[in-house]
Chain A
Amino acid sequence: EIVLTQSPGTLSMSLGERATLSCRASQSVSTTYLAWYQQKPGQAPRLLIYGASSRATGIPDRFSGSGSGTDFTLTISRLEPEDFAVYYCQQYGSSPPYTFGQGTKLEIK
């Protein structure tokens, strides 16, 4: 099983700042199969990034993804009020075929 470890667990940032969220895999993950999601309280997750760096439909360009192998990053260039949420990385690969990281909570400072 590929374990995804996200850091930090909680990130306290101010509006307009740049946020960097990390996702580390226990084994190499193909960039094709690494995704990021945003979840707000009481809502379903929303796909932000797929293929490690491709933005999903309707996602603002302040969100970007990068990385390869075992280290992946989600960057939010200038934090807006609506960006404060929990973020999950997810991979598709070995059994079980789909796993998520434990999440990073992005909170307003």
Chain B
Amino acid sequence: QVQLVESGGGVVQPGGSLRLSCAASGFTFLSYGMHWVRQAPGKGLEWVAYIRNDENIIWYVDSVKGRFTISRDTSKNTLSLQMNSLRLEDTAVYYCARDLTHFGAFDTWGPGTMVTVSS
């Protein structure tokens, strides 16, 4: 079945870096755009980044531009998020999600990985 599994979360100091990964299975990864969405503790959902299936379109929410980089490795069916210059406000559960083509929605989600930025 369609499955997404995130990894790479942990505790990092402000200004530090972390790289998240999302392993995709059960579908043709190269055919789908992919997203990262985060949720701060006790808060709502915030979209973070998007990469189209052909990698020709990449978008970020303003608050992470210049600090986060989304990428994908089709040979490994893996989505990544490189997070640099981390801030306290980046503390959240990070979900990878598959794009529902033509509808701008997220049709499959991973269970999430927790990122804690703390001194």
Q: Which residues of A contact B44 (CB under 8 A)?
A: 88, 100-103
Are B105 and A97 neighbours in the complex by a CB distance under 8 Å? Answer: no
Cross-chain contact B61 with A96 (CB below 8 angstroms): yes
Interface size class of B (residues with CB under 8 A): 20 to 34
Contact of B109 among A46, A92, A96 (CB under 8 A): A46
Question: Interface size of A by Cβ–Cβ distance < 8 Å?
Answer: 26
Interface of B is mostly: strand
B111: interface (CB < 8 Å): yes
User: Would you give the shortest CB distance from A1 to chain B, in whole angstroms?
Assistant: 9
Known: A44-B109, A44-B111, A46-B109. A100 touches B46 (CB 8 A): yes
A37 to B45, CA, bound (A): 10
* A interface residue numbers (CB < 8 A to B): 32-33, 35, 37, 39, 43-47, 50-51, 56, 88, 90-93, 96-103
List chain B positions with a Cβ less than 8 A from chain A: 35, 37, 44-47, 50, 59, 61-62, 95, 100, 102-112
